[in-house]
Amino acid sequence: MKPLRGRFKKEVEKSVEKYTSSIHFDKRLYRQDIAGSIAHAVMLAKQGIISDEEADTIVGALSAIREEIELSSFPMRDDLEDIHMNIEARLVEKVGEVGRKLHTARSRNDQVALDVRLYVKEAISDIIESLVGLQEALLELAEANKKEVVPGYTHLQRAQPVLLAHHLLAYFEMLQRDRERFGDCLKRADVMPLGSGALAGVPYPIDREFLAKELGFARTSENSIDAVSDRDFVIEFQAAASITMMHLSRLAEELVVWSSAEFAFVELDDAYTTGSSLMPQKKNPDVAELARGKTGRVYGNLLAILTVMKGLPLSYNRDFQEDKEGLFDSVDTVVATLEVFAGMVRTARVRGDKTRRAAEEDYMLATDVADYLVKKGVPFREAHGIVGRLAQHAIDSGKSLRELDIEQYRRFSPHFDKDVYSITIDSALKARSAVGGTAPEQVRKQLAKARKAIERARQRG
């Protein structure tokens, strides 16, 4: 008779066995499961529930099992459902009846909850490190091109000139919020559920605070029912992952557009592009395009876990088995995307001549001309209308604003004088000197602040 079949008269159908098995994906939790089991065995001995000798035997065998798994010599069995039962069965094979004592004062429900929390904590640490890596790449590109000017866009229409460094630092800020968001998620994941049993707690004198300390948790769960049925931290992780991928998808879109012949603002390195199966001249931004596509699968993982949880009564339900595949997929997708983006950004070449030329076109200094009139005492709304009509006149004349003579300016307002020609790209940039603006001095401060943020992150890491 297989494990957990004591009260049954029949063996489970093969189709059911296959349908309920999760070993093909939850085997990646082996490190967390063994770490939890070792801590549990040590605690049981400390509390006199098993002997020190029994604990030593169990711990030694679990360490050997971990090595077997890492050397790919572990006999993984699909018929044992999951990684937890596989490890327990192998333990009993190695040490006999002593191995069966490990599950004293523990349920698979709190065991699984523990493993997933340990995994999420590690995943958050890896993702935060990768976020810092991409931030650093963006900062390096910004610092290397801090004098370059690009058109700023609204509605994907050229709007006002900005420094490229200022534009790149916008993504730095997005990733900073992502780091904070994952760090906040960590607070909810950093709760130790072991000792909750199946749902009601356990009737043994266990030491949960000891377990929390051994396993590196900040605190223990307060309610045993909630502890085994809570997956809020997984949902929160998936939400944070989705927002991060949304940010990466926005950056990806700009790299796709900016690397096109129509823009030619950047050239992506050969190592981060691919060719066409038909057209030999092509250089396709496939990495960026894939990131846009992979964003959708992470969104799907968030929706999946929300849907799994929405109708579940307390406490544990087998539906929870569906929390892991999407979680693993999101972790793999986010980490891989962050890492490949860091390399792609670091090796991108900015075409400063193209970006500045684009910033000088399409009447992008019109707002500065309106501000010029405001400084002459014209109300902004009135100045806005004047310059709108002036710009339309220039368009109809096939001229830039600088190509209009002063008499043409004065047809629209007597406040115009020859000093209107002092309005340039550089003066427009310099004028945006409020904190957070694109003025060179402000951008220098932003770069310095970003560099310090990276240094602090590296020191903490």
Please identify every residue annotated as catalytic: 155, 276
Give the residues across from 266 on adjacent strands. 350
* Rounded distance between C-alpha atoms, residue 391 and residue 376, angstroms: 19
Whether the bond into 315 is cis, omega within 30 of 0: yes
Residue 115: which H helix or E strand, with range?
A: helix 108-144
> Residue 192 in 3-state DSSP?
strand
Amino acid letter for position 392: Q
What contacts 340, CB < 8 A, 6 or more positions away?
272, 287, 291
Give counts: helices (H), strands (E), the chain. Answer: 18, 6
Tokens matching residue 263: 């823009």
CA neighbours within 13 Å on the CB side: how many for 97?
0
Q: Which residues pair with 162 in a beta bridge?
A: 150
Indicate the angle between helix axes 30-46 and 52-70, nearest 10 degrees.
170
Two tokens, residue 180: 């904070």
- Longest alpha-carbon distance in the chain: 101
Separation CA 249–CA 146 (nearest Å): 24
CA angle at 387 for the pair 357 and 392, rounded to the nearest 5°: 70
Q: What SS3 state is found at 99?
A: helix
Q: Structure tokens of 155?
A: 């509605």
Taking the C-alpha atoms of residue 93 and residue 84, their distance in angstroms, rounded to an integer, is 14
Output the six-digit token pair for 85. 């039962």
- Nearest Cα to Cα of residue 312 among 322, 297, 325, 299: 322
At what angle are helices 108-144 and 30-46 packed, to 10 degrees? 130
Instruction: State how far the Cα of 53 lies from the Cα of 195, in Å rounded to an integer.
Output: 22
